[in-house]
Structure formats: structure tokens, C-alpha cells
Amino acid sequence: MSDQDRPGGGPDGDGDRLRELERGLRAARKADEGNKPAADRSGVAVAFRLSTELVAGAIVGALVGYGLDYLLGTSPWLFILCFVFGVAGGFLNVARAGIRSEKRNDGNGR
């Protein structure tokens, strides 16, 4: 194959090819806009985040309540109260994470 046969072999052809490349790049960049890293949206990552949140809430609430009861001698009232607050806190974290990932999926992420 000689140089003349190749598309865009001459100096003018090179310019054409460069322009074509430029156009291609611009199109690719446009398509990529607002495209956050893929793993960011990965449902698995979100699922892994949420699974522990509830358990941890219950554990923290129970431990804090038990500790305060032990110190203040108010057993079992603070235990019950803190346990409920702890579970609620866990749920709050789950809700927050859900809202956050939803926002990001809408494309107007923070």
C-alpha cells in the first residue's frame, strides 16, 4: 500500500484526521459530562454501607444506656431510652445515605 492510497495520507489529509479526532474527542467529553465514577453509584457499595448501620445503632444505644445506668444507678430506664435513640440514630444514618445516593443519581450531586 503506498502513501497516496491511505485515507488522509497527505498534509491536507492529516489536518482532516486531526479535525475528525477533535470532533470525536469533543463528542466523547460531552457524553462523559456529569458522569461520576461508576463505582460511586454501585448499588453493592451502598448496600454494604447500609447493612451495618442498623446493627451498630442498636449496639451503641444499648452500650451507652447500660453504661449510664451503671454509673447513675437508674437501671433500666436509661438503657431503654438510649436503646431506642440508638436504633433511631441508626435508621437516621440509613435514611441519610439513601437520600444522598438518590441525589447523586439525579445528576445534581453535591
Partner 1 sequence: MSNDPIHQFQIKPIVPLEIGGLDVSLTNSGLYMLGAAAALTVFLTMSMGGRALVPGRVQSVTELIYGFIADMVRSTAGSDGMKFFPLVFTLFVFILFANMVGMFPYAFTFTSHIVITAVMALLVIGIVVFYGFYKHGLHFLGLFVPKGVPWVMLPLLVPIEIFSFLVRPVSLSLRLFANVLAGHITLKVFAGFVATLAAVEAWWGVPAAGLPLLMTVALTALEFLVAFLQAFVFAILTCVYLNDAIHPGH
Q: Where does this chain bind partner 1 (CB under 8 A)?
A: 36-37, 39-40, 42, 44-45, 48-49, 51-53, 55-57, 59-61, 64, 82, 85-86, 88-90, 92-93, 96, 100, 104, 109-110
Least separation in angstroms between residue 85's CB and partner 1 is 5
Question: Which residues, other chains included, contact 49 with Cβ-Cβ below 8 Å and sequence gap of 6+?
Answer: 97
Q: Of 31 and 44, which CB lies nearer to partner 1 in the complex structure?
A: 44
CB 19 within 8 A of CB 70: no
User: Largest Cα–Cα distance of the chain, in whole Å?
Assistant: 95
CB atoms within 10 A of CB 88: 12
Q: Of 10 and 72, which CB lies nearer to partner 1 in the complex structure?
A: 72
